[in-house]
Amino acid sequence: MTHMTHPPQSGHDGPYPAPILVSDRRVEPDWIDANGHMNVGYYGIAFDLAADMMFEEHLGVGWDYVARSGQGSFVLQAHTHFLDELREGEGFSVRFRLIDHDRKRLHVFAEMVRDADGAVCATQETVSMNVDHAARRATDYPDWAVQRFARMKQDHAGLEPPAQLGAPIGLRRKS
């Protein structure tokens, strides 16, 4: 089923940067745990806040879309790799790439990068689905959004696949 719920009010039709960069992020004092670095839960918040900006500014399916259409992205699965510490006050950026999509779902990979030295401190891979808030059921994104996803996937196709993409979770044992 294809439909045009509401015309886009934000975002653009491409071309899209490869990857998309959300910058000017900073580790907040409240995000620090007893180990003196950013707490595991706040990595999720930091990725989510950056994703909100990427969805709004580039794809047009952020908060304005949710308010106008009564639909929004629900995360179905997320896998985070913690690779290095981030400490209070450190600046960081988040790089996004669209791995895949269909009419209802997005597969996105993000890297959290420390601004001072370019180190990738964490990665997050997510699969999300568009959900109608009234019905609480999956629904197709509007045609304009699906067209934007296709363009972004095309623009990101040349990026080197990250080592963490699709990585299983578990204990690795040496033989």
> Can you give the pLDDT at residue 5?
55
Backbone angles phi, psi at 95, to 5 degrees: -105, 130
Q: In whole angstroms, give the CA distance from residue 58 to residue 20.
A: 9
Q: What is the DSSP letter of 15?
A: -
CATH code assigned at 81: 3.10.129.10
50-85 residues labelled b (16+ CB within 10 A) or e (exposed): bbebbbbebbbbbebbbeebebbbeeeeebbbeeee
Q: How many domains in the chain?
A: 1
In a domain, 106, yes or no: yes
pLDDT tens digits, residue range 137-160?
A: 999 999 999 999 999 999 999 999
pLDDT digits (tens, 9 = 90+) for 31-90: 999 999 999 999 999 999 999 999 999 999 999 999 999 999 999 999 999 999 999 999
Q: What is the pLDDT of residue 131?
A: 98
167 lies in some domain: no
108-128 average pLDDT score: 98
Token pair listed for 3 = 């439909």
Question: What is the DSSP-derived secondary structure letter of residue 4?
Answer: -
Q: Among 7, 134, 144, 10, which residue's Cα sits nearest to residue 70?
A: 134
113 falls within a domain = yes
Confidence of residue 8 (pLDDT cuts 50, 70, 90): confident
- Written as one letter, the residue type at 158 is G
Structural domain containing residue 113: 20-156
Domain membership of residue 85 (yes or no) is: yes
The pLDDT assigned to 118 comes to 98
Residue scoring higher pLDDT (72 or 7): 72
**Assigned domain for 3 exists:** no
Alpha-helix residue ranges (DSSP H) falling in the chain? 40-54, 63-69, 143-156
At 46, the amino acid letter reads A
Model confidence at 164, pLDDT cuts 50, 70, 90, reads very high
- Provide the 3-class DSSP secondary structure of residue 130: strand
Average pLDDT of the segment spanning 19-34: 98
**Residue 175 resides in a domain:** no
Percent of the chain with pLDDT over 90: 92
Which H/E stretch holds residue 23?
strand 20-26
Q: Give pLDDT, residue 132.
A: 97
**β-pair type (105-114, 120-132):** antiparallel
Residue 172 lies in a domain: no
Is residue 68 assigned to a domain?
yes
Residue with tokens 């899209």: 16
| Better pLDDT: 174 or 57 | 57
Average pLDDT over residues 128-143: 97
